[in-house]
Every structure is written in C-alpha cells, then in structure tokens.
Amino acid sequence: MPSPLDLPAAQSAPNTPRERRRAQTRDEILNAALAVMTEQGVAALNLTEVARRVGLRQPSLYQYFDSRTAVYDALFERGMRAHHDLLADAIGAADTGWPAACAAAWASVRFAMDHPALVQLLFAGAVPGFVPSEQAYAPSLRTYELTRNAIASAVRHHHLHPAAASERGVALFVALIAGVSVQQQANDPDADLEEGRYVALLDPALDMYVGYFAPSRPTAWTPWPETGARTAR
C-alpha cells in the first residue's frame, strides 16, 4: 500500500511550537484516516479507530477535526493539491502542446494507482452526501485550468482541432483518463504502472482522442451537437 505520507501537508506553516505540534497531530490523524479508508472502505471511515491509531481518545480527536466530514474535507483538499502539483510538474517538464497534455494524463493515472482510496474520495463520489467545501474544491478548479491550458496549447501548435479546447472537448479528455484509471483500479488493482492491463490502454486512447480531434477537421465541425449526432457543416 502506498504511504499516505506522500500527500502534502497544510499550506500555512505553523509559527510556534504549539502550532507545530498541532499541525503534526493533524497530519497524523489524516494519514491514519487514509490508512483506515484504504483498509476498510472510503465510506466506512471510523474516527474511533483513527483516534486509536494516533494514540488519542475520540473526544480529543474532535479538538483537531470537529466531525468526520471535516476529516474528509481536509483529505479532499490535500489530495486535490497533490494531484494538481503532480500535473503541473508533468506539464512543466514536457514539450509544449500535445506532449504536455499526454504527460498530464500519465501523471493523473499514476496518481490514481498510487492513492486508490483517496481517488475514490476525490473523483468517484464514494461518500454519500459529502460535498467538499469551497476551499477544499479550489485546487480541483486549478487542475481543470491546467488541463484546459494544455489542450489549448496543443490547439495553438496545430496538434488538435480547436474543438478539443471546448468545454466538452476537455471533458472528453478528462473522462478518458478517468475511465482508464477506474477500470484499472476495479479490475487489476494490484498491478503496477508498467504491468497494468488497463493502463496499457492509455496511449491508444490518447491516440483515438487525437484522431477524433484531428486538426484537419473542417473549421465548423461540431463534435457534440444537441441532437447527439456528429455533424460537419
């Protein structure tokens, strides 16, 4: 099981010894919560068990997180920030245009394989009724902008048709990545990145995306009209 310690800690650095101890305890609680989610199911998070693992009584845990929802929210924010940072690094290290978009796709699939329980919280709606706070959701919006900008760059480099940078074009790119990740996790969860049966489909799927949004399409080509039928006019 991948270590939850890979997740970034809180953004604001504590200034006093007391604040540092509190921040460290919060980190320990979140790491323990992620371990329990991994072992017992994302929606089955038990704060009594989390408190036991970090050496606290459950009432003391509420001094750090006032509810189970607050724990989910903090994990959501940190997970989304970790996902954003991985994609930003991958895009920054790749050539501009379509290679950067492909690098983002691979970084996202790698993240999903490294943190399967966390990904269920972030992307699969595994906790009924949980809605992240505005603060927790903010990194997701930044990640979408990263992805959209990578696709737009591919359009500017004439690697893709302009329709790829539309809302639905970006949504298809995201859905493609999510589909590979979910199928891998559901059907071949113990495989690594090099051996995963569904991960091996990512490059062919990306090739199909390029084919669908080939820059040679007519300028007025509409990929998803309201009728659901693809048209060119």
Q: What pLDDT digit, counting tens, does each position of 143-182 carry?
A: 999 999 999 999 999 999 999 999 999 999 999 999 998 8
Q: What's domain 4-212's superfamily in CATH? A: Tetracycline Repressor, domain 2 (1.10.357.10)
Q: Which residues contact 165 (CB under 8 A, 6 or more apart)?
A: 148, 151, 152, 155
pLDDT: is 18 or 170 the higher one?
170
Range in 19-23, 81-85, 94-98 with the lowest mean pLDDT: 19-23
Q: What is the pTM of this model?
A: 0.85
Could you tell me the residue ranges of all domains in the chain? Answer: 4-212
Is the per-residue pLDDT at 227 higher than 60?
A: no
Mean pLDDT over each residue of the chain, to the nearest integer: 86
Quick one: pLDDT band at residue 190, thresholds 50, 70, 90? confident
Phi, psi values for residue 222, rounded to 5° = -110, 115
pLDDT: is 185 or 27 the higher one?
27
Range in 104-108, 119-123, 154-158, 182-186 with the lowest mean pLDDT: 182-186
Quick one: pLDDT band at residue 28, thresholds 50, 70, 90? very high
Is the per-residue pLDDT at 77 higher than 60?
A: yes
